[in-house]
Amino acid sequence: MRQTFHIRFAFLCCLYCFTGCSKQEETPGQYSSFDFRMDGSRFIPNIGVPSSATSFTLAGTILTTPPTPLPGGGKYSFAIADGMGEKTVLFAGNDTSSEIIATIANGGPIIQLLADSTSIYSVHLGSRINCFDHEGKAVWSSAIQGFPKANSIIAENTVIIDSDSGIAAINTHTGKNVWVYPTTMSVVGMIYDNKSKLIIASLSFNNSDTGDSILCFTSSGTIKSSIVFETTRIISNLCLCGKEKGKIAFGYLGKPGAANNQRTMHVAVYSGIQSGNPKSVSDHELPYLVTNLASNGQILLSSGFRETGGDLQSGIDAFNADDTMKLWQRRFSYPVVLPPAINEKYVYLSLTFSTQAEVTTQSIFYTLDLSNGKTLVELPVAGAKDGFVNGIPMPAGEGELMLADRSRPVIYYLKP
């Protein structure tokens, strides 16, 4: 039986090399500072196995977003936001230099950056949305009702913003509001399905007695489908997965148990959500809170942690998104807080070792073999204050990865 499993998995990996290694960008050249890709997959180019770490210090104070890749092959490879006061600055840089390309007054802190082949979009805590070109020239400024969160995405020629007042769409070329969907429900996550041309959002009442919903919007803001998942509390990002990338995965809390009233923790994959005919493909109960998902299409990764009474459950699990088979699992003695990144061969993630002492510590950057979950390299990232680096491992071009420090204006570059 074990031999059959390994032969089957090897076949799937070979099949994926022909069908998935050339995985198309669902939204070409469009990036988010938190999810990286608009489909929630956190899929990145094959950087290889990083074996060295270097750092670059920006002339800033406190970074408020992770770095966002800038496509197009221009002067700089990333943008990042800095500043918590009345003035916020926007940096652009690479692994040798950086500069302030824009200063924004009275906009509030930037909580998320998005970028496409021509523009950078800054989402501010105080309802302001600004657009700049890659040189920092202001293109337009807009505003929405309520206070934005950090789930915004780009859906082709619109920026889709979530706030505590609802969901709003802004035209990327003009800055004009296209449509608004008002709701008092909390938007947990949003993705864009380029195949169906639908914007897909998960909404929660944040109430243990009420089921959460997933809504699918057309580009004009019309609701194509609305599905309520009874006794389900969605707690992760949404993620397109499967060989055809038409299935949707999410982590959730299930119905409270009768014995201790604690809710079970799951990762689920559904088909048919876009058409309004949901069908459960798989459902796996896990010992940790499934807060982060990633997928290269065929393979789905869930990750997260749960700590109760000094007992820590922390890990990553890999599943085949189409036939529901569990492929491997890893458990860690420290919390898996930050989202792993994935490609057709590797899993990239960082574990942190925090301390209250004012001393330099280090984070450990892992490269895992996607076929079996085994560690290929543990790379120390020295000097990260409190042992913490921020955000998903981001590609800096096609040959290296970048991470940002939590409390200092430092970018770390990880290279093969």
Candidates 214, 196, 128; CA nearest to 156 is: 196
Query: How high is the pLDDT of residue 74?
Result: 82
Query: How high is the pLDDT of residue 359?
Result: 54
| Cβ atoms of 360 and 382 closer than 8 Å | yes
User: In the numeric block, which tokens belong to residue 120?
Assistant: 């950078």
Q: What is the mean pLDDT of the chain?
A: 87
Share of the chain above pLDDT 70, in %: 88
The pLDDT tens digits of the residues spanning 72-88 come to 878 899 999 988 767 89
For residue 6, the SS3 value is helix
Confidence of residue 361 (pLDDT cuts 50, 70, 90): low
Tell me how far apart the alpha carbons of residues 290 and 314 are, in angstroms, rounded to a whole number. 10
- Reported as half-sphere exposure (CB side, CA atoms, 13 A), residue 154 has a value of 31
DSSP string, 272-325: STTTT--EEEEEEEESSEEEEEEE-SSEEEEEEEEEETTEEEEEEEEEETTT--
| Cβ atoms of 117 and 71 closer than 8 Å | yes
The pLDDT tens digits of the residues spanning 167-193 come to 999 999 999 999 999 998 899 999 999
Residues near 44 by Cβ (< 8 Å), separated by ≥ 6? 36, 341, 342, 343, 348, 393, 394, 395, 401
Confidence of residue 388 (pLDDT cuts 50, 70, 90): confident
User: In the numeric block, which tokens belong to residue 300?
Assistant: 């789905």
For residue 199, the SS3 value is strand
- The conformation of residue 3, written as its DSSP 8-state character, comes to H
The pLDDT tens digits of the residues spanning 313-349 come to 999 999 999 988 999 999 998 888 889 999 999 999 9
Confidence of residue 3 (pLDDT cuts 50, 70, 90): very low
Query: How high is the pLDDT of residue 162?
Result: 93
| Cβ atoms of 346 and 340 closer than 8 Å | no
Residues near 130 by Cβ (< 8 Å), separated by ≥ 6? 102, 104, 107, 121, 122, 124, 138, 140, 141, 142
Beta strands at 341-342 and 326-331: parallel, antiparallel or unpaired: unpaired
- Residue recorded with tokens 């709701």: 183
User: In the numeric block, which tokens belong to residue 185?
Assistant: 């429900």
Q: Worst-scoring range by mean pLDDT, 259-263, 264-268, 282-286?
A: 259-263
| Cβ atoms of 301 and 236 closer than 8 Å | no
| Cβ atoms of 192 and 169 closer than 8 Å | no
Q: Worst-scoring range by mean pLDDT, 15-24, 170-179, 222-231?
A: 15-24
For residue 5, the SS3 value is helix
Query: How high is the pLDDT of residue 14?
Result: 39
Confidence of residue 209 (pLDDT cuts 50, 70, 90): low
The pLDDT tens digits of the residues spanning 110-147 come to 999 999 999 999 999 888 999 999 999 999 999 999 88
- Provide mean pLDDT across the span 150-157: 93
| Cβ atoms of 157 and 173 closer than 8 Å | yes
pLDDT of residue 26 exceeding 70, the answer is: no
Query: How high is the pLDDT of residue 9?
Result: 37
- Provide mean pLDDT across the span 295-309: 94
Tell me how far apart the alpha carbons of residues 268 and 250 are, in angstroms, rounded to a whole number. 6
- Provide mean pLDDT across the span 11-34: 53
Query: How high is the pLDDT of residue 298?
Result: 96
Confidence of residue 259 (pLDDT cuts 50, 70, 90): low
Tell me how far apart the alpha carbons of residues 116 and 152 are, in angstroms, rounded to a whole number. 13
Whole-prediction pTM value?
Answer: 0.90
Phi, psi for 100 (deg, rounded to 5): -80, 120
The pLDDT tens digits of the residues spanning 212-221 come to 999 999 999 9
Confidence of residue 206 (pLDDT cuts 50, 70, 90): low
Confidence of residue 390 (pLDDT cuts 50, 70, 90): confident
